[in-house]
A and B are shown apart, each in its own frame.
Chain A
Amino acid sequence: MFWRMVRGAFFRQKGKMFMIAFTIALGASLATAMLNVMLDVGDKVNQELKTYGANINVVPKEASLLDDLYGVEKDSGVSDQYLKEAELGNIKTIFWAFNIVDFTPYFDTKVKLISGDSEVKLVGTWFNHHLELPTGESLDTGMKNMKNWWEVSGDWLTDQDENSAMVGSLVSGRNNIKAGDVITIEFQGKTKELTVKGIFNAGSDEDEAIYVPLQVAQKLAEHEGLVSSVEVSALTTPDNELSRRAAQNPDGLSIKEWETWYCTAYVSSISYQIQEVITDSVAKPIRQVAESEGAILEKTQLLMLLITILSLVGSALGISNLVTASVMERSREFGLLKAIGAHNSPVSWLVLTEILVTAVVGGTAGYFAGLGFAQIIGQSVFGSAIDIKPMVIPLVAVLVFLVTLAGSIPSIRLLLSLRPAEVLHGR
């Protein structure tokens, strides 16, 4: 009898029940979309912030001061320190290998430009290097991904262009070099001709240099297999108190703290792990990038969290409001049921069951619609899919359940407290 009444209610008031289900579906889809987007926004924004370039700089121990401080030329006989090119693949084998987005080695040297500047910085690097890793995987990495703010007139180099170069805007401006020109460089008596494939404007020191593929610079300086520094772009977690202490002295941590630190993607722990796999290296976080990323990431997440809360509250109030409205509307039915002798509890159960069944239907439909909305946001803003987090399902389920109950119970109690005769009379 109970179920027949429930079924009857559905068939008799198809339109109304549909409207409730529709509203619940809207609320649930909003909650699903916002929760999914919020949980994924950190990763997505982190990926976007990679446009700021590398956040870790790997240099040989001891050697870092020479060039910047003394203006001492490399190869002038003092303690030249280099990293081994063969070890670079190891960067992709560390604990947080998955978080390493890109890395590029640099080999710096100074050359003379025939018919021009007496001394120019020549940088050998990877442009789009294909690397086979010891783990059997392969990887494409290089400058082209990492310096995407460079304005290049002409073309980017590829690693195979052994007789071409890219010239910084300041060097080209001073020496009147255009894309397509042929320049001659001299290093310790040896000369080499290079075709200028592109002129770039980087808006920084890099504009003062000539870039060539790594092997070209190494061969010229007779330092095959060696690199002067490596820039690494990694996805990191914002710093906290633990990571700051660890950055100062990793040995000062307790074993448990050390494990937590090592197994979290802090910029300091990733740097530490890189030092472990590259012989005689120092990996330094570039604070300008690392620090700011953390700040912006935190703000964005907090912002999304608060917007999510607003929309959750909004949809919760919306649903419970509608449920209240639709229960109140049925005062006459309640009066009639009570007048023919129904007790309070079966009447409440009847209405609650009806509404909860509607909620389940609406909630399920809403969940899938919400996934759709989340993907629309992901695709149009970040150009990639939003990860679907299973934990959203129980959250939305609990939300819909509680909100429907909260919307129906007070109004049911209110109606039950009325006297049947009065309700039926229409007052």
Chain B
Amino acid sequence: MAGDPMKKQTMYFRMVTSSLIRRRSRMLVALLAVAIGATVLSGLVTIYYDIPRQMGQEFRSYGANLIFIPSGDGSALSMDAADAAADFIPADDIVGMAPYRYETVKINEQPFMAAGTDMEEVKKTSPYWFVSGEWPENDGSVLVGQEVADYIRLSPGDTFTVTGTDIKDESFSRDFIVSGIVQTGGTEEGFIFLSLSDLEGLMGNEGELDVVECSISASQTVLDDIVKQITENVEGVTPRLVKRVTQSEGTVLTKLQALVYLVTVIVLLLTMICVATTMMAVVAERRKEIGLKKALGAANKSIVMEFLGECLFLGGLGGLLGVVLGFVFAQTISVNVFSRSISFQPLLIPVTLAVSIAITALACLLPVRSATDVDPAIVLRGE
């Protein structure tokens, strides 16, 4: 038996592989158990890491969480300053950015508030607006708030005339088509929304804004940082967080993440114990084999090594299967729930592999230990 190390190693591999092949059905059971554990592990951890990002996107349906208002006393916000401020926000995180300019105009000699804005951006910053009719697509068509529409009896498709005086005190008059009626439940229902260029055309000057609404997909700390940077670096703009949205988002997101975290921990713990018991059942069956080997003169250490070799193989293969299946599973969930694909966490591959090998090894060693500790004669006799 004391041959050269090469031979010993070949023998070791032969024993491990033949043990795996001879006992196909049992090994399949064990492999399945490990793979299930690994799938749950990698799937849940991927979801856990992706939840804040995915949910953060959902929370953007609450609308703007940061607004720019003019600094100082009521002067207008210049377009350039707003653009300069926007540069401090990471471009990938911007969901939408809608500029607003408010002016008082008259319809039938009654004053109304008109808001000039960028409709495409409004759709992104205020996804909760309920528009009956169509969103305006070209100049000359406008959105009218529900209250205004009720008050002057407008419905989509109607034409009305807007009059007023521009900044040089010259009067203007222009016809607009109502493309849709907007319902929000808030003050927006009392406004008329037209494109910024239309309003600038009426008023006769450009580049002035009253407020810019930004919807940013970022955590509270990142937002605080953005506010700080803009305050320090950009003149003429005061960034303000919309507290109701940012604060509440933080609270709810933390809760949700804690929920998924706890669920993940409990599910993992239970699954891992399940895997371990199955492995123990599979190994416990081989007490006789261990007894026989010991009777033939095998050292405890070499028996343990042999089992560890099998575990390495089972844990590795099961872990790999689990990584793939877990990702497929997390992807399915993400696509179904959030309609977005999930980002793959490369770090999970080694972690999943390590955990599945460790658990398999631990589950093997317990019964193997108890079998090797006992006198082979007793084991062989079946006691």
Which residues of A line the B interface, CB within 8 A?
Answer: 16, 19, 22-23, 26-27, 29-30, 33-34, 37, 41, 45, 48-49, 51-53, 57, 64-65, 68-70, 149-151, 201-204, 248, 284-292, 295-296, 299-300, 302-304, 306-307, 310-311, 314-315, 317-319, 321-322, 324-326, 328-329, 373, 376-377, 380-382
Contact = CB atoms under 8 A, between A and B. Distances in A.
B236 to A, nearest CB: 18
B43 A296 contact: no
B281 A329 contact: yes
Secondary structure of the B contact surface, majority rule: helix
Given A23-B277, A325-B278, A328-B26, A204 B255 contact: no
**Contact-size category for B:** 35 or more
Contacts of B277: 19, 22-23, 322
Interface string B148-186: 100100000000000000000000000000000001111
A311 to B, nearest CB: 5
Interface string B257-287: 0111011001100110111011011101100
A19 B281 contact: yes
Q: What are the 10 A-B residue pairs with the smallest beta carbon separation, nearest first?
A: A203-B243, A318-B274, A149-B247, A286-B185, A291-B128, A51-B248, A292-B61, A325-B281, A284-B185, A329-B285
A203 B242 contact: yes
B191 to A, nearest CB: 8
B129 interface: yes
Contacts of B324: none
B243 A204 contact: yes
A48 B255 contact: yes
A31 to B, nearest CB: 10
Contacts of A289: 62
B294 to A, nearest CB: 18
B115 to A, nearest CB: 12
Given A299-B338, A302-B336, A307 B47 contact: yes
A146 B122 CA distance: 27
Interface centre among A16, A286, A287, A380, by most B CB within 10 Å? A287
A376 B245 CA distance: 29
B256 interface: yes
B198 interface: no
A287 B252 contact: no
Contacts, number: 217
Given A27-B274, A329-B281, 20 more contacts: A30-B267, A33-B266, A68-B113, A69-B147, A149-B243, A150-B243, A202-B244, A285-B185, A306-B333, A311-B40, A311-B263, A314-B271, A318-B274, A321-B32, A321-B36, A322-B274, A325-B29, A328-B29, A373-B266, A377-B259
B96 interface: no
A381 B260 CA distance: 9
A310 B332 CA distance: 11
A295 B62 CA distance: 10
Contacts of A37: 259, 263
Contacts of A30: 266-267, 270-271
21 contacts: A33-B266, A52-B245, A64-B190, A69-B111, A201-B243, A202-B244, A204-B243, A287-B130, A288-B126, A302-B337, A306-B337, A314-B267, A314-B274, A318-B274, A325-B30, A325-B282, A325-B285, A376-B262, A376-B266, A380-B262, A381-B259
Interface of B: 25-26, 29-30, 32-33, 36-37, 39-40, 43-44, 47, 51, 55, 58-59, 61-63, 111-113, 126-130, 132, 147-148, 151, 183-187, 190, 240-248, 251-252, 255-256, 258-260, 262-263, 266-267, 270-271, 273-275, 277-278, 280-282, 284-285, 329, 332-333, 336-338
Contact of B270 (A204, A307, A315, A381): A315
A76 B210 CA distance: 28
Contacts of A27: 270, 274
Given A299-B338, A377-B266, A315 B274 contact: yes
A90 B271 CA distance: 52
A168 B217 CA distance: 28
Given A16-B281, A27-B270, A315-B274, A299 B259 contact: no
B185 to A, nearest CB: 4
B36 A287 contact: no
B248 A26 contact: no
A288 B252 contact: no
B276 to A, nearest CB: 9
B187 to A, nearest CB: 5
A296 B252 contact: yes
A248 B148 CA distance: 17
Contacts of B255: 45, 48, 381-382
Contact of B29 (A26, A295, A300, A321): A321
A193 B329 CA distance: 65
Contacts of A376: 262, 266
A21 B226 CA distance: 56
Given A16-B281, A321-B33, A381-B262, A49 B58 contact: no
A296 B55 contact: yes
B281 A295 contact: no
Contact of A315 (B126, B271, B281): B271
A171 B185 CA distance: 26
Contacts of B246: 203
